[in-house]
A and B are shown apart, each in its own frame.
Chain A
Amino acid sequence: MNVTNTQDVRGASSAIDRASKWARSNLFDGTGSTVLTLLTAVVATFLIYTIVKFIFVGADWEVVDVNRRLIFLGRYPKEEQWRIWPPMWLVMGLGGLTYGLLSRISLRDLVWLGAAVMFLLVFLATLTNGLLFGAGIILTAAAYGVGRSAVERPRLRARIRLGLTVGWLLAIPFAIVLIAGFGGVKPALWGGLLLNVLLAAIGIGVGLPLGILLALSRASSLPVLKVFATSIIEITRGGPLIAWLFIARFVLPVFIPGFLETDPIVNSMIVVSLFTGAYVAEIVRGGLQAVDRGQVEAANALGLGGFNVTVFIVLPQAIRAVTPALVSQLISLWKDTTLFAFLGFTDALSGGQAAYNQTAFKGDQIEVLLFIALMFWAVAFGMSRLSQRIERVLGIGAR
C-alpha cells in the first residue's frame, strides 16, 4: 500500500515535470515561439469567449426549437413519422455491430458519440422521440457488444459478417420501401435533414457500385464497354452537379416522353447516383492501376480466371488504396445534397431559411445556420472518423 502511494506521488510529480518540459520545448522555445504562443492564446480565447457567449447568452434558440420539424423533416407529414424509426434502428444496429466486429471503441470515439447523442436528445426532446431514440441507442450498444463477443469466435464471426453484408445491402431499399411504400409518403414530400440523408444514402448506395462497375468497364479490354463507360464518365464529369439537376428536371422531360411523370426527387436521385458514380469510377480506376501486376500474374498462375482475379485480388486492393479519396468524394456528395434547395425541395438548409424568414424570427439567421452547419459537420466528421477506422482495420495486411 505504502509502496503504491510513493509510486503514485512520484508518477504525478514526473507527469508535471514532463508537462512543463513539453511546454518549454513546444510552446516557449525562444522569443519567436513565445510570442506566437501568446498571440494564439489571446486570439483563441477571444474567439472561444465570443462563440460561447453567443451560444449561451446572445443567441435566441427559440427559432430552432420551434422549427425543429421544418429543419429535420420539411413537409413530411407528422402522422407518418413512425416510418422513419425502423430504418434508423436498422442502421444504428448495423453500425454498432460493424464497429464491434472491426475494433474496440476508442475513448475518443466514445466521447464524440456521447456528445452527438446528448445533442440529439436535447433537440429531439419530446418524450416519445427521446424514448424511441433511446431504444436505438440501446440497440446500438447491444449490437456492439455482440460484435465484440464474436471477434474470438470464427464461426459466429463468419455468420455475422454474412448478416452484415446482407443487412447493409438491404438497408437503403428497406428505408425507402418503409417510408414510401404501403401507402406511405411519396418522395415529393420528403424534406429537411431526412431528405439530405436519403439523397446521400442513395447517392452512395447506388453511386459506389455503379462507379466500381464503370471503372472496371473502362479498364476492360472490350472496346464497346470501354467506350461506353468512358463516355458516361467524361460527359457526367463535364458539368457541375447543379447543371445536371436542372437538366434532368427541365430539359430531359422534353426529349424523353414519360420522364415528366417520374417524381422530381426520383429523377434527381438518378442524377446524383450517376454523378457520384462518375467520380467514384475515376478514383477506383486510379486504385486499379496501383495494384501490382505481379498480383494478377500470381493469381493467373494459380488458375484463377478474370472474374475471380478481379473480385478477390484486384478490387479489394484497389479500393483499399483509394479509401481516403473515396470517403472524401462521399463527404462532398453529402454536402452537395443542399443543392436540392435550388430545385425547390425543402432540405435542411432551405427548411432553415424558411425558418428564419418567418416574421417572428426575423434576424435569427445565425442561430439557424450555426445549427445546420453543426449537423452537416457532425455527419461529415463521423464519415471521416469511420473511414480512418476502416483504413486502420484494412491496414493490418498493408506492406
Chain B
Amino acid sequence: MTDDTTQDSGNDISESPTNGSDAPIIVCEDVTVSFGDFQALKGISVEVKEKEVVVILGPSGSGKSTFIRTINRLEEHDGGRIVVDGVELNDDVGNLEQIRSEVGMVFQQFNLFPHLSVLRNITLAPQKVRKMSRQDAETLGMELLERVGIPEQADKFPAQLSGGQQQRVAIARALAMQPKIMLFDEPTSALDPEMIKEVLDVMGELARSGMTMLVVTHEMGFAREVADRFLFFDAGEVVEEGTPEHFFTNPQEDRTKLFLSQIL
C-alpha cells in the first residue's frame, strides 16, 4: 500500500540522531467513518512512519479532515483499526488519553481559549495532564513562544493577536504536550494571505526537526518543500499516493489530475 518512493523520506531529516525504527507510528487498517447515512471514510488504510511528513490533499468533503480527526478520536471510526504508537484506539478511555497526550493538533480556526492569556493557553494542559509544576510549565511555555517567534505576546489574550500569531500560539500550545505526532487541519485556511508565511515557516521548522506530521493543506509550495509523501483523498478514499515529485510530474489518476489542475 505504501509506495516504494516514500522510502527516501529520511534524506530531509539531517539532524535526526537515529534513523528511527522502520515500524510505523500510525497504522490505519480499513478505517470507516459514517455520519448517519453518509459514509465519510470508506476504508482507509495508511501507515505513517516516525518522522515522516505526510500531506493530505483533496477537494472539500473528500474526508481528509475527518481522517486526521479520527487519529485522535475527535471523530469515532466505526470500522477498521487504528493503532497509534502501539496503542489501539478504541473505547478504552485510558488508551484514548494516552494517545491524545501524544498527538498534538492544530485547527483551522485556532480554537485558542479566549479567556486565558497566551502563556496560560500553553501551560494549562502540561499542568493538568502531565502534572507539571506551574514554574516548569511556564518555562516550557516561554521556550515554545520563543520557538514560534512571539515571546513578547505571552501576557496578552488571544483576541489581541493577529491571526498568524494566534495560529503560532496554537502550535506552541500543542507542542507543550511534547507530542510525538502533530496533526494540522488546514492550519492556514482561515488566515489573511500576508500571515500564511509566518505559520508555514514555523511548520517547516517543525518538519525539519523530525516531527511526525500529518498536514491537510492547500499550500502546494509548502507541501512540495516539506512533505515526504502526499495522499490524495476523494469521496472518502485514498485515490493516489506518492512523493511530491510523483504528484507534480506524473499523476496517474484522472481525479488527481483534475484536482491538481484546479489548485495549481
Contact = CB atoms under 8 A, between A and B. Distances in A.
A302 B114 contact: no
B159 A298 contact: no
Given A294-B107, A294-B109, A301-B105, A320 B97 contact: no
B114 A399 contact: yes
Nearest to A308: B128
Interface stretch (A15-23, A82-90, A390-398): A390-398
B111 A297 contact: yes
A301 B103 CA distance: 7
B157 interface: yes
Nearest to A319: B115
A37 interface: no
B99 to A, nearest CB: 9
Interface string B124-160: 1100110000000000000000000000000001111
Contacts of B124: 302, 304, 312
Nearest to B109: A294
Nearest to B97: A303
A219 B160 CA distance: 32
A302 B113 contact: no
A298 B111 contact: yes
Among A302, A316, A320, A398, max chain B CB count under 10 A is at A302
B104 interface: yes
B111 A295 contact: yes
B115 A316 contact: yes
B65 to A, nearest CB: 12
A303 to B, nearest CB: 4
B115 A303 contact: no
A317 B114 contact: yes
Given A297-B107, A398-B159, A302 B174 contact: yes
A397 B120 CA distance: 12
B118 to A, nearest CB: 10
A388 interface: no
Contacts of A317: 113-115
A380 interface: no
Contacts of A11: none
Nearest to B134: A158
Nearest to B103: A301
Nearest to A399: B159
Contacts of A292: 111
Among A295, A303, A305, max chain B CB count under 10 A is at A303
A313 B113 contact: yes
A295 B115 CA distance: 11
Interface string A256-272: 00000000000000000
Contacts of B173: 302
A13 interface: no
Contacts of A300: 72, 74, 100
B116 interface: yes
Interface string B221-243: 00000000000000000000000
A268 to B, nearest CB: 36
Interface of A: 292, 294-295, 297-305, 308, 312-313, 316-317, 320, 394, 396-399
Interface of B: 72, 74, 97, 100-101, 103-105, 107, 109, 111-117, 124-125, 128-129, 157-160, 170, 173-174, 177
Given A301-B105, A317-B115, 12 more contacts: A294-B109, A297-B74, A298-B105, A301-B104, A302-B104, A302-B124, A313-B113, A320-B115, A397-B115, A397-B116, A397-B157, A397-B159
